[in-house]
Structure 1
Amino acid sequence: TQTVSAPRSKKFATYDDSKLVSFIRKIQPIVEEELSHGMTPLFDCNDNLYDASERYRVCRHQELTLRSLNPDHAVERPFYVGAAAWLSILTRDAPLLVVAGSPNHAAWCDHVSSTVTVFCPKRDRYGASVQWVELSSSPVKACIESLETNPFNRDMFAGGTVSGDVYFWHYELNLKVERNSFTELHSETTDCGKVVDMAWARYNVMSKSDYALLTAHTDGTVILWRVGKTIVKDKIFKLSVPSANGRALILTQILATSNTEFVVGCDDGSLLLCSTTQLIPLGGTATSADRTVINSSPAASGKGNFFSPGTIELKCHSFSVTSLQKIENRRQELLISCDLTGEVLFHDITDSINSTPTLIIKMPLPFKTRIVCTSDTEYIFSPTGNGLLELYRIGSGKVDTVEPSVPLKGSPNLIKMSANGKWLITGTYGGTFIIYSVAMEF
């Protein structure tokens, strides 16, 4: 080995042949391996480097089975309809969960032992996972088929029964007596028929302490409840389809798009945008139930307020509307609706609602009793028979499925995603609900 040295200058430098040879021998295989892959593509900041199918990982996490207090529910009349609501997060990104079940009702509800059941997430002994365990149950007058969490205060939720009863509950952590953490704020029986769906909104954009709950009833009625220090019926809306020529309206879904507008889906496929700032007073006087409040207040008493809201017909579905959802994605607000056949309409409601949808997709059979779309509008999840969960890729139409541990019987009408997007619940399969974990990998 010969070492040649020269003074450091612009033209000369000191080097060692042996070190140079050793370095080249070390990097040569690495360079050849890199060159074998071809030219590296130019990076475009607008490209999505991760395929959505690789980002989402949906896994079956746990099965919950409701205890029936009435033997005929378990043997002759199993739970047919399920309702659930995710509340505030308690541990490891896992929220409290409220669940209710209802058997099929041929006419009126005569089940005197109906309840809503609260499940609390508990860490396992190693703290690596959570399991939901029953915390407490609360009796109700009739079977609950609708539960909805207040998105502005996730410790508050409401429930509606098949007999038209409306309940309000609140959760407050009680470390000494955890089972007594749930308080019934108010309950009231309406004469508007079954509560099919509910939606929360701000009562007034200037007030952060008052909320509004909209309850949709089968007879075409929507009740606006003002929820604050007291809970009162604020207004009663009688809905009709402008082009129906007096045809009876059967509501199936409701969604609040703002504090002054809401959208309802109907059994005939109609989609109606209703405005609470354009009201036509209707005749009618209040009943004693209309004046019921938590604490009697002079401001809450008086005649019932019956109105017909300003209504605009959006592009209708061909069959019964089974799902309504609002999504905010990249500064764009979307109204998503789905009917029984799996036809999904996307309306852009960023500035104002256009009656013509911006996107229409047709999901493959089987029928879609309920769907939920991911916040990035990449996937639609929907439960099917036998306990399967379908994952529909909007961009390609590809369908993946997540199977249960054992086949389950039933036609699920429920799918709810937690506010943080990490949990799903579907059901009911004869009283059994399935919880899924949803993870995104970047």
Structure 2
Amino acid sequence: MDVLSHYSSPVIEFPATQPLEKQNALVDNCTGTDPPPPSKDVATATQLKKEMATQTEQLSARTDGSVEYDERALAKWLRQIYPLVERELSQPTPLMDEDQQQLTSQVALQEQLLVQIYQNLPMGCMDNSQGLAIWLCVHTNNAPVLVTTTVAPHDDWCEHVDQQLKLFVPQRVAHGDFVVYKEMKTLPLKSCLRSLSTNSFNKNMFAGATMDGELFVWLYEQSRGASDTNVDIKQLHSVSSTQGAAVALDWVTEQRLLACYPNGTVLQWLVSKQMTLDWEYAATVGGELSTMVSLGLNDFVLGTNDGGVYRCWSTTDRSSGKPLQMLALRRHRFMVSTLLRSEMDGHPIVISCDLSGQAYYHDMRHEDEDTAQLIVQIPLPFKNSIACSRDAKIIYCPSNDGALEYYRVSDGAHAHVKGALRGRGNLIMISDNGCWLITGLYGSEFQIFYIENNLRE
């Protein structure tokens, strides 16, 4: 006889398809001869709707059909619901998460502006150098000519004499709808350049200031013919100044060049058959001048190393001897590293940026007041060099390792283009048509970006 085990097997349950507590009435479906019960058609009958929103109606109704409300219950319900409503209004529930909003804005910005790495330009210089670059006239396929140079690390007095100015010209690629920048000309320099500036009234002309206090004016020339190799850089003028190296250059007209110096001196040169000094202005701004931008004849903006921004102008010709008027604009906390002239919504503005990446938009429509109401804080890491689009609504910044970051001023959306170089870029320059960007210097290379605006009309 087998010994029974005390092991209990698990219970396997098959739940009923119908609830056990529910009783279903069985109906006989057989055919009968009894007459059907009397029925009443209620499809068109109206039903009285009872409002239970506040749960304060009494069960008893008056003879006239109206409902009697309990005032005490209504007051009690209002006291309970009021704090909840007030809390909801003071802290409304967001429509979407902040990270999701930021991601949506970033995707929208990347769809609007397609920024891609176009080409690297090797310079063959020593590492840890800085670079200067400017865009000249458009050559082909909406691509402008490019001039670059390198600046070796040193103080104001320059020991490096083996410096060169290089000309890169875009060349069409056979069987392709794109161009490649090729080095077409190399011009030796006496010393490193401190600043470069393109003549916006004649983009074949540009100027440069050396570390030893000389000013040069060059002319880009292209021979008429089928070949694109007949290009040259011709030196037009060269003058020396006792003020030292000019920290910034800008063109007032086609034949007038402004140069500003750290000691507060601003010189205007008349560039014609000869290069002569037109007038000299000494700005009393306290700190040293770090940058400058011209707004027109006898009208310019200065930036200093202690964060000051000053507008200087005169309503009369400077040859009359009347001094310039000066207006202190909104001040930065750190050195002003960049001044840009642009337009926003059809109004002239000046964008000033300091070493902390804080940018001010100064409205230049009023001469007697500063209307810098728009402030943009570029996220970390700090950017001391910026460029902007033609409508001033997009700010571009060079990042580490050849990367590029750009920001939309209206909503703060930003996007990132990953780079593949080494080093930290100190230069960024955008072309006048807003399609080309150059950044650098990364090791011994510049990097060119191409910008395609998908919303362009």
TM-score of the superposed pair, with normalisation by structure 2:
0.71
Ranges in structure 2 where 5+ consecutive residues have no aligned partner: 1-106
Mapped to 1, the partners of 2:333 and 2:321 lie a distance apart of 30
Mapped to 2, the partners of 1:401 and 1:323 lie a distance apart of 21
Mapped to 2, the partners of 1:183 and 1:191 lie a distance apart of 25
* Structure 2 counterparts to residues 75-90 of structure 1, below 5 A: 78=127, 80-90=129-139
Contact 1:261 1:275 in 2 (8 A): yes
Mapped to 2, the partners of 1:420 and 1:256 lie a distance apart of 19
Mapped to 2, the partners of 1:424 and 1:280 lie a distance apart of 36
Residue of structure 2 aligned with 1:145, choices 170, 194, 197: 194
Cα shift readout 1:278-302 (whole Å, capped 9, x = no counterpart):
7999xxxxxxxxxxxxxxxxxxxxx
Mapped to 2, the partners of 1:144 and 1:59 lie a distance apart of 29
* Residue in structure 2 matched with residue 340 of structure 1 by the alignment: 355
Cα shift readout 1:83-138 (whole Å, capped 9, x = no counterpart):
11101111100010000110111351011221211101011122311111101111
**CA deviation after TM superposition for structure 1 residue 407, in Å:** 3.2
* Structure 2 counterparts to residues 96-175 of structure 1, below 5 A: 96-175=145-224
Contact 2:394 2:406 in 1 (8 A): yes
**CA deviation after TM superposition for structure 1 residue 409, in Å:** 1.2
Q: Does 1:63 align with 2:104?
A: no
**CA deviation after TM superposition for structure 1 residue 420, in Å:** 0.7
- Matching residue's letter, 1:340: L
Cα shift readout 1:256-282 (whole Å, capped 9, x = no counterpart):
11112000111101001112457999x
* Residue in structure 1 matched with residue 241 of structure 2 by the alignment: 190
Q: Alignment partner of 1:240: what SS? A: coil
* Residue in structure 2 matched with residue 3 of structure 1 by the alignment: none
**CA deviation after TM superposition for structure 1 residue 344, in Å:** 0.9
* Structure 2 counterparts to residues 428-439 of structure 1, below 5 A: 428-439=441-452
Say which structure is richer in strand: 1
* Residue in structure 1 matched with residue 292 of structure 2 by the alignment: 254
Contact 2:388 2:395 in 1 (8 A): yes
* Residue in structure 1 matched with residue 255 of structure 2 by the alignment: 211
Contact 2:400 2:423 in 1 (8 A): yes
Kindly tell me the number of residue pairs found equivalent between the two proteins: 347
Mapped to 2, the partners of 1:277 and 1:80 lie a distance apart of 42
* Structure 2 counterparts to residues 342-361 of structure 1, below 5 A: 342-352=357-367, 354-361=369-376
* Residue in structure 1 matched with residue 301 of structure 2 by the alignment: 263
Q: Does 1:417 align with 2:455?
A: no
Contact 1:239 1:309 in 2 (8 A): no
**CA deviation after TM superposition for structure 1 residue 141, in Å:** 1.7
- Matching residue's letter, 2:131: G
Contact 2:110 2:415 in 1 (8 A): no
* Residue in structure 2 matched with residue 396 of structure 1 by the alignment: 411
- Using CA pairs under 8 Å that are at least 6 residues apart, name the structure with larger relative contact order, 1 or 2: 1
- Going from structure 1 to structure 2, the CA distance change for 1:320 and 1:279 (only over 3 Å counts) comes to farther
Q: Alignment partner of 1:195: what SS? A: coil
Q: Alignment partner of 1:181: what SS? A: strand
Mapped to 1, the partners of 2:374 and 2:215 lie a distance apart of 36
Mapped to 1, the partners of 2:410 and 2:326 lie a distance apart of 33
Contact 2:327 2:368 in 1 (8 A): no
TM-score of the superposed pair, with normalisation by structure 1:
0.74
* Residue in structure 1 matched with residue 421 of structure 2 by the alignment: 407
Residue of structure 2 aligned with 1:327, choices 342, 362, 380: 342
Mapped to 2, the partners of 1:424 and 1:315 lie a distance apart of 29
**CA deviation after TM superposition for structure 1 residue 351, in Å:** 5.0
Mapped to 1, the partners of 2:378 and 2:306 lie a distance apart of 19
Q: Alignment partner of 1:183: what SS? A: strand
Contact 2:264 2:282 in 1 (8 A): yes
* Residue in structure 2 matched with residue 201 of structure 1 by the alignment: 252
**CA deviation after TM superposition for structure 1 residue 211, in Å:** 2.2
Mapped to 2, the partners of 1:427 and 1:157 lie a distance apart of 20
- Going from structure 1 to structure 2, the CA distance change for 1:216 and 1:352 (only over 3 Å counts) comes to same
Contact 1:122 1:132 in 2 (8 A): yes
